């Protein structure tokens, strides 16, 4: 896998960039399989998602999620995160 650029939907329904997933997480991307593995810095898998290479590809898939930057936290206080 690599660090290919693109977008994915997080567990809160936000659209995030693979280059800046936020939360101290890293993205490991398989561009051929269109797979994003979101991991901690120690390699623990915390989220899996589909890779969308462009914002046009996101729209074509019918996804209307808001694009957020890495400063937006993952999870909600009500979830204990």
Strand partners, 47: 38
Predicted pLDDT of residue 15: 98
Helices (H), the chain: 55-60
Predicted pLDDT of residue 34: 96
3-state secondary structure of 7: strand
Predicted pLDDT of residue 75: 80
| Full pLDDT tens readout for the chain, 81 residues | 555 799 999 999 999 999 999 999 999 999 999 999 999 999 999 999 999 999 999 999 999 999 999 999 998 766 655
Torsion on CA atoms 15, 17, 20, 46, rounded to nearest 10: 60
């Amino acid at each position: 896998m690599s660090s290919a650029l693109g977008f994915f939907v997080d567990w809160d329904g936000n659209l995030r960039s693979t280059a800046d997933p936020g939360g101290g997480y890293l993205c490991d991307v398989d561009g051929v399989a269109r797979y994003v593995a979101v991991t901690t810095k120690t390699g623990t898998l915390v989220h899996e998602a589909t890779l969308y290479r462009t914002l046009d590809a996101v729209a074509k898939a019918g996804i209307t999620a808001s694009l957020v930057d890495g400063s937006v936290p993952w999870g909600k206080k009500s979830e204990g995160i």
